[in-house]
Chains A and B, each alone.
Chain A
C-alpha cells in the first residue's frame, strides 16, 4: 500500500478501512489550528467506538471525539481550545463523570513519546517532570498496564544519569514511545503518492505521522508530484510513510489552516455553549455532525459569506481584522 503511486481516496473509505473500533489513534494539530476535523467528523459519523486516543495539546478534535462517545482512553498533555474553551467542555464532563480514562503527560513528554516511536526506540529521556505528580499519579492502573500489551508497563520512569552528572543532569525522566495504529494529520498540500507539505508551524505532526503504523493525510490541495519535488526543502513527510491521501478543502474547519483560512470564532463559541448542556450537545451532534452526509454538506450549513470572512489574507496567513469576540 505505502508504495502505491496513487493513494487518493475518499474520506469515508479511508476511515472505514483504517480506523477500527478500539484501535490506537493519534490526531495532529494544536488547540484551534490544523486539527483534522473533517476526519474527526467522519469518525463520528461512522460511529467508531472504544478508541485509544493520543494527542498533545488538542482542543477541538479531541473534544468532539470524546463528546460523541468514540473515545475509551485518552493520553494527552492539554485539552483546551485557547480562549474559546480554557478546558474543553465535553472532555471535562467526561472525566468528572468517570466516563473517560485519562493519562496525563506534558507537551514535551508527548512530543518525545511520538519522536521515540518515529525513531524506533522504546523511550527517550528528558529533564521535564521531575518531582511532579505527572510521574506519581497514573491514570492507567498497574493492573491495566500489565494486562494490556498495547500499553507500556510503566507511565514514566525516573533514573540517575548513567553518565554521572554529565550535562548537569543528575536525574532524568524516561518517556515511553507511542506507536499508534493510525495517525491522521491535515496539511496544506500533498500529492497522489502522499508527499506532504505543511505551511507554518508543524506542531508535532511530523513525529506523530512517522510514529504510526498507518498514516492518513487529508489536504487542502492535491498538487502534482513535481510541484512538491521542485522545492523539496519545504516538504516534511515523504510518501513512504503514507497510506491514504484525501483532498478535502476546509478539512481543518472550524479550526484554522494557516494561509488558507482562520478558525471560526462564531462556530467555536456556539460549540462551547452547546457543549455545556447535555441536551443541547445532543442536538448539536445530531443536527450539525450526524445529519450531513459528508464534510461538504457540513460546510453547506454555514453561509458562504461567513466562510468567506474566514479566508486567510495572502500576506499574513490569517483573516486580518476578523470579528473574534
Chain B
C-alpha cells in the first residue's frame, strides 16, 4: 500500500498523534484493534508515561514491545500486571471507582451528531446491505466509562443524520439523554478523523468542528459530513512535531503494520 505523505507526515500519523495528545497522564486507556492501540502506545511513549494500557481481553498494563494486531494478540499478554479475562476487564469499566479513570478509544462505521456509533449493519438489521463485525466490547465501553475518543474516516456516508443501527451509546439525543435511559454521565469527548478534530458542545451535546489539520478547510469538512456542523470554533491544528513522529515511527510501529 502506498501512503501519501504531505508535509513530511501521513494523515494516519497525524490522527494517531492527535489521539495520543488527548490521553491524560495517569489514565487507564482502553484500546481496540489498530490505530487506537498505536495511539495508546504513542501516548505512553510521548506525553502520558504514567498511563496504563488496558485491553478488553483481560490484559492490564501490557509491555508492548511489538504492535499487537488484535486485542487477543499474545503481544498484549507480555509483562502485564495481571492476565485475566473478559469478565474482569469489563467489570473494571463497569465499576465506578476504576471505570471513571478509564478513557475508551473506539471506532465505527457510522456516527451521528451526538456521537452515537454503529458498528453492526448498513441497511435493515434483518437483511443488511453491509454487515460489520458487531459491537465487540464497544457498547460496553461506551456504556461504562467516563470519556471516549472516537476514530472515524471522514466521509458523508459515515457522518449521518440517522444511524442505521445504534450499537454504542454516545450522548443519545442531547443533554440529559444518557441519564434518561439510565446510563452514567460520561460520554464521547473527541472525534478524530483524517481531516480534523471534532468535539461536543457543552450545552447541546452536538458535534462541532474544533480543528482542521494543515491543508484542510472547514468547508471541506462540512462537505464530507452528513449533518450541519458548527464551523465557527475551528482552529488550525498543530502538526506533529519531529519528536512525536520519531517515537511513533521508530518506537511504536517500526514495521508500519498499522501506520500503512
Contacts and interface: CB of A to CB of B under 8 A. Distances in A.
A204 B70 contact: no
Contacts of B8: none
A324 B257 contact: yes
A96 interface: yes
A129 B139 contact: yes
Contact of B137 (A108, A139, A171, A265): A108
A115 to B, nearest CB: 6
Given A32-B70, A127-B94, A171-B182, A203 B85 contact: yes
A108 B131 contact: no
A205 B58 CA distance: 12
Given A82-B69, A169-B182, A106 B137 contact: yes
Interface residues of B, number: 62
Contacts of B94: 108, 126-128
A202 B85 contact: yes
B144 to A, nearest CB: 7
B140 A318 contact: no
Contacts of B182: 127, 130-131, 158, 169-172
Contacts of A263: 69, 73
Contact of A30 (B71, B143, B177, B183): B71
**Interface SS of A by simple majority:** loop
A317 B79 CA distance: 10
Interface string A310-321: 001000111011
A26 interface: no
B71 A200 contact: no
A105 B90 CA distance: 14
A104 B96 contact: no
A115 B37 CA distance: 28
A25 interface: no
Contacts of A139: 125-126
A86 B57 CA distance: 17
Contacts of B227: none
B168 A132 contact: yes
A216 to B, nearest CB: 20
Given A106-B138, A202-B58, A130 B257 contact: no
Contacts of A96: 128-131
A127 B139 CA distance: 10
Contacts of A262: 74
Nearest to B125: A137
Given A96-B129, A316-B78, A130 B181 contact: yes
Interface string A186-224: 000000000000001111111100000000000000000
A256 interface: yes
B167 interface: yes
A86 B74 contact: no
A83 B69 contact: yes
A303 interface: no
A73 interface: no
A287 B90 CA distance: 41
Nearest to B65: A316
Closest 10 CB pairs of A and B: A82-B70, A171-B182, A78-B136, A30-B72, A131-B181, A108-B90, A80-B133, A33-B72, A318-B74, A202-B85
17 contacts: A32-B69, A79-B134, A82-B68, A86-B132, A87-B133, A127-B94, A127-B183, A129-B139, A132-B166, A133-B165, A168-B184, A201-B85, A202-B58, A202-B84, A203-B57, A325-B256, A325-B257
Interface of A: 29-34, 56-57, 59, 76-84, 86-88, 91-92, 95-96, 98, 102, 104-109, 111-112, 115, 126-134, 137, 139, 158, 167-172, 200-207, 256, 258-259, 262-263, 265, 312, 316-318, 320-321, 324-325
